């Protein structure tokens, strides 16, 4: 499958699920405890009748609280090589989050060992989804990548309140305020996703990694997560602006079910 097809496929799964697939029922973060029980009344056969069943019955769901998991820092892990590039993206208000979709010919990607995973979109949650001992960060950024084989890789970055981030301000300023709105960016505003990453301390990022899922319906598993140990900051005014779009668009930590988290340190 070529990149364009994959990109469209993933964008359909990740961003337009509720609007493009006519049958996909509406959901909200408020009702997350019962996502798995939401019925698609246009379908009469199980599992089509319960399109989000994996949210309830999946054993490798995301996010998690890292305090609940066994952390293994003895294994030698691949370096994460971020090769993001400047882009002229689309600003997309998904109805559940503010999101930036990379352009069709975008070359930016994440390299993990010998494998490359193109960046297709990134979006924000308030507060963070992943937690440490019950404590959440003010926000969390998810960079979503898809490999040639369709595998999904999400790079998560915790967001603290501190110095403002100029790139984040550009995103806020250009984001449509209505659910489903897309700013196709005819004026050509450029975004460099690397400016939303923590500074590189010693040539490579320290991270936690585990097998998980999408954190929104349909909660599909098979997603490999990489959570950076360093965070970035936005200003408190920017956090307020983020909340003005979506507040509380975070899924609660899910059962770890014996999963081991790999850590670079």
CB of 171 closer than 8 Å to CB of 87: no
Stretch that binds Zn ion, among 82-90, 135-143, 174-182, 223-231 (CB under 5 A): 135-143
Stretch that binds Zn ion, among 31-39, 48-56, 71-79, 141-149 (CB under 5 A): 141-149
Residue 70 or 228: the one with the smaller Cβ distance to Zn ion is 228
Q: CA-CA distance, 85 to 79, in Å (whole number)? A: 19
Rounded to whole angstroms, what are the CA distances from 14 to 10, 96, 127, 220? 6, 11, 20, 10
* DSSP states along 79-96: PEEEE---B--EEEE-SS
Which of 29, 60, 96, 130 is an active site residue? 96
Q: Is 96 a known active-site residue?
A: yes
Residue 204 or 243: the one with the smaller Cβ distance to Zn ion is 243
Provide, rounded to whole angstroms, the least separation between the CB of residue 121 and Zn ion: 10
Provide, rounded to whole angstroms, the least separation between the CB of residue 190 and Zn ion: 23
* DSSP states along 98-129: EEEEPPTT---EEEETTEEEEEEEEEEESS-S
Give the tokens for residue 90. Answer: 């689309």
Within 10 angstroms of residue 232's Cβ, the number of other Cβ atoms is 21
Binding mask 202-241 for Zn ion (x = CB under 5 A): ----------------------------------------
Provide, rounded to whole angstroms, the least separation between the CB of residue 178 and Zn ion: 20
* DSSP states along 19-87: HHSTTSPP--GGGGGGGGG---TT--STTTT-TTTHHHH-SS-S--BGGGSEEE--S--PPEEEE---B
Q: Which residue is nearest to Zn ion (CB)?
A: 142
Q: Is 96 in the site for Zn ion (CB under 5 A)?
A: no
Residue 53 or 250: the one with the smaller Cβ distance to Zn ion is 250
Within 10 angstroms of residue 74's Cβ, the number of other Cβ atoms is 7
Q: Which residues in 55-94 contact Zn ion (CB under 5 A)? A: none
Provide, rounded to whole angstroms, the least separation between the CB of residue 186 and Zn ion: 27
Of these, 60, 142, 145, 251, which contacts Zn ion (CB under 5 A)?
Answer: 142
Within 10 angstroms of residue 186's Cβ, the number of other Cβ atoms is 7
Residue 29 or 142: the one with the smaller Cβ distance to Zn ion is 142
Binding residues for Zn ion, per CB under 5 A?
142
**Catalytic sites, residue numbers:** 96
């Amino acid at each position: 499958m070529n990149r364009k097809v994959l990109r469209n496929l993933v964008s359909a799964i990740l961003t337009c699920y509720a609007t493009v697939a006519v049958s996909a029922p509406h959901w909200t973060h408020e009702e997350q405890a019962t996502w798995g029980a939401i019925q698609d009344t246009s379908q009469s056969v199980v599992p089509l009748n319960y399109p989000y069943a994996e949210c309830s019955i999946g054993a490798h769901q995301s996010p998690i609280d890292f305090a609940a998991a066994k952390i293994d820092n003895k294994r030698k892990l691949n370096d994460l090589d971020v090769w993001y590039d400047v882009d002229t993206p689309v600003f997309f208000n998904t109805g559940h989050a503010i999101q930036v979709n990379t352009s069709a010919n975008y070359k930016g990607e994440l390299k993990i060992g010998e494998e490359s995973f193109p960046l297709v979109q990134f979006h924000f949650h308030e507060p963070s989804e992943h937690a440490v001992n019950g404590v959440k960060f003010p926000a969390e950024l998810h960079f979503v990548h898809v490999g040639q084989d369709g595998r999904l890789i999400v790079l998560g970055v915790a967001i603290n309140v501190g110095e403002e981030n100029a790139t984040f301000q550009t995103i806020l300023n250009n984001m449509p305020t209505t659910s489903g709105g897309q700013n196709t960016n005819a004026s050509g505003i450029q975004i460099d996703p690397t400016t939303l990453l923590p500074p590189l301390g010693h040539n490579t990022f320290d991270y936690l990694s585990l097998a998980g899922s999408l954190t929104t319906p349909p909660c599909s598993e098979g997603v490999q997560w990489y959570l950076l140990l360093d965070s970035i900051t936005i200003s408190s005014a920017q956090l307020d602006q983020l909340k003005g779009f979506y507040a509380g668009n975070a899924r609660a930590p899910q059962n770890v079910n014996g999963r081991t988290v790999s850590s670079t340190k």
